[in-house]
Amino acid sequence: MNKLMELVDLHADAVCNVLEGAEDATSGKSWLTIRDVFYAEIQAIADSMEWDNRLLWGVMHNLKATNKVKTRWAVVVNTFGCGSTKATELCRRFNLDPDEELPDIEDL
């Protein structure tokens, strides 16, 4: 999140330097207001990404095996419809062992 905001700061300054002293033709907003809107939109995207991350974390930590599929990476493949490489990356992203044997749904 901090890296994202650093990029926003870098690019917002560049955009605002171009817009400085200019007025937005449609609404009469100054460059400062445009900058504030830009920051607000980026923050909304960052908040959405954080929520998506928490949702994905919850799914990854609550996966259960089916009768045929036992390892975490294989369950991730079936759950998300991705390949084994992406499934392994998702496991590692959330500090989970991709080769962990998951309990069957019936065992719970």
The letter for the amino acid at 98 is: P
Torsion of Cα atoms, 81 then 84 then 88 then 90, to 10°: -20
| 77 vs 24: CA distance, rounded Å | 48
User: Once rounded to an integer, what is the mean pLDDT over residues 33-37?
Assistant: 72
How much is the pTM?
Answer: 0.56
| 46 vs 40: CA distance, rounded Å | 10
Using DSSP's 3-state secondary structure scheme, residue 71 falls into strand
Q: Which helix (H) or strand (E) holds 44?
A: helix 31-61
Look at residue 25 and tell me whether its pLDDT is greater than 50.
Answer: no
